[in-house]
Amino acid sequence: MEQPGKVDPKLSLEIAKRDLARAEAEVDTALSALHAAPRAEKTGVTRAVEDAFEKVRAARRALDGLELEKDE
C-alpha cells in the first residue's frame, strides 16, 4: 500500500524517461540550429544548447536515482 504523498516509483520512472526523451530532443533541435546558424547568431544558440544539456543531465540524475530506488 502506498503512503499518502508518495509517488509510485513506476510512475516516477516513466516520468523521468519522458523528461529525458524531451531533453534529448531539445539537444538535437539546438544542435541542428547551431549547425545552420550564421557565425554571428551562434551565441544565442550556444545558450540554448547549454540549457538543453542541463535538462538532459537533470533528467539522467532523476532516472538514475529512481532506478537505484527500484533496486532497493
Q: Which three cell numbers stand for residue 24?
A: 534529448
Please choose, from the candidates 4, 5, 11, the residue with its C-alpha nearest in 3D space to the C-alpha of residue 69. 11
pTM: 0.60
Q: Where along the chain do its domains lie?
A: 9-71
Q: What is the pLDDT of residue 1?
A: 41
Query: Is the CB of residue 62 less than 8 Å from the CB of residue 13?
Result: no
Q: What is the pLDDT of residue 5?
A: 63
Residues of the chain with pLDDT under 50: 1-2
* Cβ neighbour number for residue 44 with a 10 Å cutoff: 12
Query: Is the CB of residue 2 less than 8 Å from the CB of residue 8?
Result: yes
Could you give the CA distance from residue 24 to residue 38 in angstroms, rounded to a whole number?
Answer: 23
Q: What is the pLDDT of residue 60?
A: 85
